[in-house]
């Protein structure tokens, strides 16, 4: 497996583009006749584009994706559904596709009607710009940004067990309203693997459980979350090597979102090991990375082991307090602050001094060992800052 350039356009046959105007953008992906699968938000309030995309993917064939930023098209009633379908229609007519092969995605403010004149003009512009290039992928990634501070894309190449090389690429957006079980995030993934919709769906769900479902910026679950994977028609080629590459692609995109959390100054990665079950490991990791008290401690560079242990304790994972160990790390530096229930980082100790120094870094790893089994899981997040409150208090005004 190796990292390559190109984003979604690292895959031959994929074209992309983006167009922006003030607070709005439209990103396009064109991959004619692709097989596809998707996962969506778990919020019971779901945006109109999620409904339209679910309908489009019923037959597992998808040739294009149109995604806009600036307006979520959620809680917008019948008009919102009509607008989402008009977005699909415009792309289908221009690219000579069945409307049923066009997915729609939106991100932005909830509860406002779509500015369709603006969105249609941007879509027309993006359609003219469709291209197969690294810049085209970057343009699409930029067009779907909202409070993101930078575009997020990643691509890699791997070799299947049969010796064939395959490529995977992805773009995503996400910065706030991010919590486990997807978030205010859109992710579009492409590959030149030949696979069936059923194979893609099974593989995507595995990758999402390890990545997008393990990120937590602020515990708010969005109404628009969509992850789409597009491939070439075929079957029987998806193997462990491809799954490993897809996992890595999704994890890298997840890390980018966590690093770019709204107002964030620090990236945090929490690994829980020694859990009795995988479910327990995921529960505990999510609880720690999602704890507001842990997040604020990180913002203040406070190695508050009590908050970490408390979060693991209320997570619902099976644990024994006197067997828990906690360590902090950044780069090559690492320190144990709790060892099998014994606190090591008391005031005046070398452990506390090193822990406080590590907490000043921009990227910090937390390791929690439950010492009950062989399962582990990693969750991704960031600190909670004054700027997060400012950004979200001003979001719709």
Is 184 designated active site? yes
CA 96 to chain centre: 31
> Which one of the listed residues 184, 223, 254, 378 is annotated catalytic?
184
Report which DSSP code applies to 221: P
Beta strands in the chain (DSSP E): 2-3, 15-21, 24-40, 61-71, 102-109, 152-159, 165-173, 186-194, 215-216, 226-232, 267-275, 325-330, 333-339, 342-343, 363-369, 375-382
> At residue 308, what are phi and psi to the nearest 5 degrees?
-65, -50
> At residue 259, what are phi and psi to the nearest 5 degrees?
-65, -25
Residue 182, SS3? coil
Strand partners, 26: 19, 68
Could you give the count of Cα atoms lying within 13 Å of 394 in the half-sphere of its Cβ?
9
**Nearest Cα to 114, choosing from 142, 93, 85?**
85
Residue positions annotated with a catalytic role? 184
């Amino acid at each position: 497996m190796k990292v390559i350039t190109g984003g979604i356009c690292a895959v031959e046959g994929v074209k992309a583009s983006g167009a922006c105007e003030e607070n709005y953008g439209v990103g396009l992906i064109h991959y004619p006749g692709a097989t596809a699968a998707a996962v969506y938000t778990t919020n019971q309030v779901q945006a109109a584009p999620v409904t339209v995309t679910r309908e489009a993917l019923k037959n597992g064939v998808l040739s294009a994706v149109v995604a806009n930023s600036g307006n979520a098209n959620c809680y917008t009633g019948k008009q919102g559904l009509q607008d989402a379908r008009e977005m699909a229609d415009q792309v289908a007519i221009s690219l000579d596709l069945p409307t049923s092969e066009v997915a729609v995605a939106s991100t932005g403010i909830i509860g406002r009607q779509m500015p369709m004149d603006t969105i249609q003009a941007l879509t027309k512009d993006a359609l003219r710009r469709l291209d197969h290039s690294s810049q085209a992928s970057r343009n699409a990634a930029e067009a779907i940004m909202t409070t993101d501070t930078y575009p997020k894309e990643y691509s890699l190449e791997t070799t299947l067990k049969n010796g064939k090389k395959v490529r995977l690429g992805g773009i995503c957006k996400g910065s706030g309203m991010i919590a486990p079980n997807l978030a205010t995030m859109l992710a579009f993934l492409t590959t030149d693997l030949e696979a069936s919709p059923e194979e893609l769906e099974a593989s995507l769900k595995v990758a999402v459980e390890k990545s997008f479902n393990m990120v937590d910026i602020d515990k708010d679950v969005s109404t628009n979350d969509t992850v789409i994977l597009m491939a070439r028609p075929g079957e029987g080629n998806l193997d462990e090597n491809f799954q490993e590459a897809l996992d890595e692609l999704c994890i890298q995109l997840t890390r980018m979102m966590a690093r770019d959390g709204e107002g964030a100054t620090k990236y945090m990665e929490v690994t829980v090991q020694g859990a009795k079950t995988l479910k327990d490991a995921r529960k505990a990791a999510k609880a720690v990375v999602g704890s507001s008290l842990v997040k604020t401690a990180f913002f203040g560079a406070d190695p508050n082991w009590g908050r970490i242990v408390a979060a693991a304790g209320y997570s619902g994972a099976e644990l024994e307090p006197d067997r828990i160990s906690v360590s902090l790390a950044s780069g090559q530096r690492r320190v144990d602050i709790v060892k099998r229930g014994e606190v090591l980082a008391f005031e005046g100790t070398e452990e506390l001094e090193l822990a406080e120094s590590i907490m000043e870094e921009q990227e910090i790893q937390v390791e929690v060992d439950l010492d009950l089994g062989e399962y582990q899981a990693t969750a991704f997040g960031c600190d909670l800052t004054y700027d997060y409150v400012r950004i979200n208090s001003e979001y719709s005004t």
